[in-house]
Amino acid sequence: MHGTGVPLVTPFDSAGRVDRARLRSFVDWLEDGGVDFLVPCGSSGEAPLLTTDERIEVVETVAETTTLPVLAGTGQEGYEPTLETTERAAAAGADAALVVTPSYYASDDAALAAYYRALADDAPIPIYLYSVPKFTGHALSPRTVASLATHENIAGIKDSSGSLESIQRLDHHTADESFAVFVGSGSIYAAGLAAGADGGVLGMANVVPRRASGIYRLANEGDGDAARARNAALVELNRAVTAEYGVPGLKSALSLRERPMGEPRRPLQSLGEPARRELASVLTAALDATPTDRDRRN
């Protein structure tokens, strides 16, 4: 895994079921947008609101459709259900598993490290750590991550703290290992790449895949100034579809891009009209500020 990954939005039909046909079309669109790997069943995909069977249905559909690597979100609150979901995701075609830190019982780093080691020992595919403190209330420390990076079946981390310092420390503490550090916040993508990150898993890439993946391409080509400029032009859109409006914002933005994904799952609710109008303005500004060779298509 390297480059720009997309934590896929999960489409639902009018009855609230996973819409496999729409998911296949969405995957094709993202591939055409130049992204590097796909991440079904993450936070942007409403994973906590999906049943395990639905998660596997999503992973299977994505794996059958794409030629890109698939990093499947398999984390649950307990070890046994996480291992079961990981094994089933592997059988469905996932290349690796993204495992969020369990949060209900507020485990400390020592307990979480033991959990990840045991999971990596038993999992049939590589494990990527997922630290997202805004949802779990806990950030894995860089030193704990470094201790886990020595495990042969722990391949990397998605850090969604939004902290550039955290990315820098993770890169520093894992520099001697074959271990990937992914930026989980689109607002600091270019800066994170400059600090040593191997790529990113970005919610905004659902909406503007070509523009988001262009940040990595520019940075990888050595044009850091252009990468930062591209990133700066997308900061307001990133904020709107993550911190401000979340999954309902992502789904509304995709509708505005003529990629309707259905209603979000309860207790989430669709955006009201005032918020939708504001989001449309932000999206238009981002598209106008970041032209591509296929303007307004991706």
As annotated, the binding site for pyruvate includes: 201
Q: What angle do CA 137, 142, 146 make, to 5 degrees?
A: 130
Summarize the annotated binding site as residue ranges: 201
Radius of gyration of the chain (CA): 18
Closest CA to 132 of 156, 174, 99, 164: 99
Is residue 81 within 8 Å of 48, Cβ to Cβ?
A: no
The single-letter DSSP state of residue 18 is: B
Instruction: Name the amino acid, one letter, at 47.
Output: A
Catalytic residue among 79, 115, 116, 130: 130
Catalytic residue among 116, 128, 158, 245: 158
Q: Would residue 158 show up in a list of annotated catalytic residues for this protein? A: yes
Chain centre to alpha carbon of residue 92: 19
Sign of CA dihedral 9, 203, 170, 78: negative
Per the annotation, the verdict on 105 as an active-site residue is no
Q: How far is it, in rounded angstroms, from Cα 228 to Cα 93?
A: 35
* CB distance 185 to 161 below 8 Å: yes
Residue 25's φ and ψ, nearest 5 degrees, are -65, -40
Q: Catalytic residue numbers?
A: 130, 158
